[in-house]
Structure 1
Amino acid sequence: MEYSQHGQYNYIASSVAMVRPLDFTYDPQTAEDNHFQRTPGIGDIAEIRRKAVGEFNGVVAELRKHGVHVIVVDKAEGAPNTPNAVFPNNWFATESDGRITYFPMKSESRRLERQESHIETVLDDAGRIIRERVEIGEADGSRGILEGTGAMVIDRKNRIIYAALSRRCERALLDQFADRLGYRQVIAFETADANGLPIYHTNVMMAVGDTFAVICEQCIQNEAYKREILPVLSQDKEVITITREQMEQGFCGNILQLAGTSGEKLIVLSDRARAHFTPDQLARLEQHGRLIGSNIDMIESAGGGGIRCMLAEIFLPSVPAAV
């Protein structure tokens, strides 16, 4: 049955965790290979954080208005400064069978975000069941880097992983994740932005829903890769191709399909992405779900991540309601 008993499709989340960006600012460590980051136009860190928290609150309100269950994660008492914590999907992911997976991240500043006991307490308080903990690699990155569902775009319906290889996405850990979690196929490929540099996270160049996919084909570096990826995507999805400019300036690849608690399919995108899609592309997307979202200009610019990066999908089962 496509629609599960706890308010989710088997492969589309109706619940997400979002981390309030209390420490948000431009991070030069991550900017070394995240070429989407821009230094803020203002120098006042307090003002940068005020804007980021306002944008975060806007996304939370928009999601809740459309029936998405949002679990807001606040900073644990005594936790270190984490300027990128608003992007939690890079360090943990969940499965509907109760597994939670933890991933190693490249930057020292980002490794501080991994607060396993804190996130498990928050999820437990939200009535979610964790049955097993899965560790990919080592937390310190000594056995490789794989930055969660930023590094991987997962087609849960077909059990396929798409991954742009980079210093944040290493093949050995991709295969380890796929084997441990039971994904049947890994399609890994090389990419380049307009300056010939690898795309730092796969989820800024492509998105996969149940009946659609968005991809920046121009970024794929080898025709052989294109001949592998595009036919697989198009087997059961409408493929919408975006340009490098739409990807880099508009975060058009950084979108996510969710479901409202009523079962309505939603596609979450930022105001910037909406402005950079063409009218025809927006009309095609609307055939696959209601388009929702809000303005996150400060988070996109200074953080170098979009609205999808802010959303950690929660597939964990719910505690049964008391009879």
Structure 2
Amino acid sequence: MLTRDPEAFLAHVQGLSHDFGPATAKAAFLVSPDGFARAEESAQDNRYMAGAGDFDAGTALAQHHDLQAALSSERPVLCFPGAPATPDAVFPNNVFATVAGRTVIGRMRHPVRQREAERADIRGFFSQVMGYAETDLSGQPHVCELTGALVIDRARGIGFCGLSERCDAQGAALMHEALGLRATLLFDLAPGEYHTNVVLAVLAGRAALFSAAGFADPAVPEVLQALYGPHAIALSRQEHADFAGNAISLSPHSVWMSQRAASALTPATRQGLQAAGFAVRAVDLSALEAGGGSLRCCVAEIF
């Protein structure tokens, strides 16, 4: 099912079993912030990006190393080098996504990011080392920025896809098919939002962090409340602004976010995560957040 109808989507997915696949990834990969700088093309539709003078490449590199070391305490985490020609490559989850045995390569909106999809080393790792088949969407005309635009509940095999300049309806349909999802709900993001994963995180298939202000249709948060029940945690506007929605679970028992996001959490949000069985783990990514994304954006999952 691929639909814009929240009620039809909810009726369909409420009966689905949590047997689509593992709820969390078996490994992850990062791309180093070598040449990390403001990409003016990306800044056109990313209001979270800082000014050029606020980019500190040295600190970003050190924080990125700390991120890899921290995440490696839970899962194997690889890191590919970056390059000055691709200053946004530190956010690889927009370009590469996986399901068991398959890699999907997305179609980025901006040329500066389209170059990331051409990387022979990352493609070769999955095809030659992992033995994964490849679905390459990068050459077709419909924008589909993978798990930036599409937040996936891997346990149920369902997706939540926000439409914006970074993903159109046909691009969403291509991602839905390539990832073999059972059902995907399409909706418009609120004006000024560029990626769904800034306003929504599904955690290990049993909880959700969301900012109601990030959705144009109030029915979408209602779907999340109905699906995830007491573990659907509504974020405040301040938590949203500080990237608390840009979080990820790499194991069933923890949620990772930046230190900025963790510091913004209200007592109610912390209590909600604890009740859902998640310990909050945080890494200082203040320099990397100048690029307009946070921890979840840095992590490309390997299923």
2:143 to 142, 145, 150: 145
Instruction: Report the count of equivalent residues.
Output: 283
Q: CA deviation at 1:227?
A: 4.2
Query: Contact 2:212–2:218 (CA<8 Å) still a contact in 1?
Result: no
Counterpart for residue 296 of structure 1:
285
* Separation (CA, whole Å) in 2 of partners of 1:114 and 1:222: 32
Q: What percent of counterpart residues are identical? A: 29
Counterpart for residue 35 of structure 1:
47
Q: CA deviation at 1:116?
A: 4.2
Alpha carbon RMSD of aligned pairs, Å? 2.2
Counterpart for residue 231 of structure 1:
226
Q: CA deviation at 1:41?
A: 4.6
Q: CA deviation at 1:218?
A: 2.2
Query: Contact 2:47–2:192 (CA<8 Å) still a contact in 1?
Result: no
The one-letter amino acid of 1:62's match is A
* Separation (CA, whole Å) in 1 of partners of 2:113 and 2:219: 34
Q: CA deviation at 1:124?
A: 6.5
Query: Contact 1:102–1:134 (CA<8 Å) still a contact in 2?
Result: yes
Query: Contact 2:29–2:77 (CA<8 Å) still a contact in 1?
Result: yes
Query: Contact 2:86–2:113 (CA<8 Å) still a contact in 1?
Result: yes
* Separation (CA, whole Å) in 2 of partners of 1:107 and 1:255: 24
Counterpart for residue 81 of structure 1:
85
2:198 aligned with 1:204: yes
Q: CA deviation at 1:256?
A: 0.3
What 5-or-longer segments of structure 2 have no aligned partner? 1-17
* Separation (CA, whole Å) in 1 of partners of 2:221 and 2:248: 22
The one-letter amino acid of 2:247's match is I
SS of alignment partner, residue 67 of structure 1: coil
1:271 to 250, 256, 259: 259
Q: Judging changes above 3 Å, is the alpha-carbon distance between structure 1 residues 129 and 252 closer, same or farther for their aligned structure 2 residues?
A: same
2:50 aligned with 1:57: no
1:252 to 244, 264, 270: 244
Q: CA deviation at 1:226?
A: 4.1
Query: Contact 1:93–1:314 (CA<8 Å) still a contact in 2?
Result: yes
The one-letter amino acid of 1:238's match is H
The one-letter amino acid of 1:70's match is V
Counterpart for residue 215 of structure 1:
210
Q: CA deviation at 1:74?
A: 1.6
Spell out the pairing of 1:179-194 with structure 2 (5 A cutoff). Answer: 179-192=177-190
* Separation (CA, whole Å) in 2 of partners of 1:71 and 1:108: 26
CA offsets per residue over residues 270-315 of structure 1, 9 Å max, x none? Answer: 1000011112212321343232221011111x20001000000011
Q: CA deviation at 1:228?
A: 4.1
Query: Contact 1:15–1:313 (CA<8 Å) still a contact in 2?
Result: yes
Q: CA deviation at 1:72?
A: 1.0
SS of alignment partner, residue 293 of structure 1: strand
CA offsets per residue over residues 36-84 of structure 1, 9 Å max, x none? Answer: 1111555xx7xx21111011011011112x2321111124xxx661110
CA offsets per residue over residues 198-251 of structure 1, 9 Å max, x none? Answer: 4100000000012110011122223344444432343xx610001233212x10
* Separation (CA, whole Å) in 2 of partners of 1:229 and 1:175: 21
Spell out the pairing of 1:142-181 with structure 2 (5 A cutoff). Answer: 143-181=141-179
User: Which structure's residues are more often helix, by fraction?
Assistant: 2
Spell out the pairing of 1:104-123 with structure 2 (5 A cutoff). Answer: 104-123=107-126
The one-letter amino acid of 1:84's match is D
* Separation (CA, whole Å) in 2 of partners of 1:186 and 1:81: 34
* Separation (CA, whole Å) in 1 of partners of 2:285 and 2:212: 25
Q: Judging changes above 3 Å, is the alpha-carbon distance between structure 1 residues 219 and 116 closer, same or farther for their aligned structure 2 residues?
A: same
What 5-or-longer segments of structure 1 have no aligned partner? 4-8, 316-323
CA offsets per residue over residues 252-272 of structure 1, 9 Å max, x none? Answer: 10000102xxxx632111100
* Separation (CA, whole Å) in 2 of partners of 1:134 and 1:228: 30
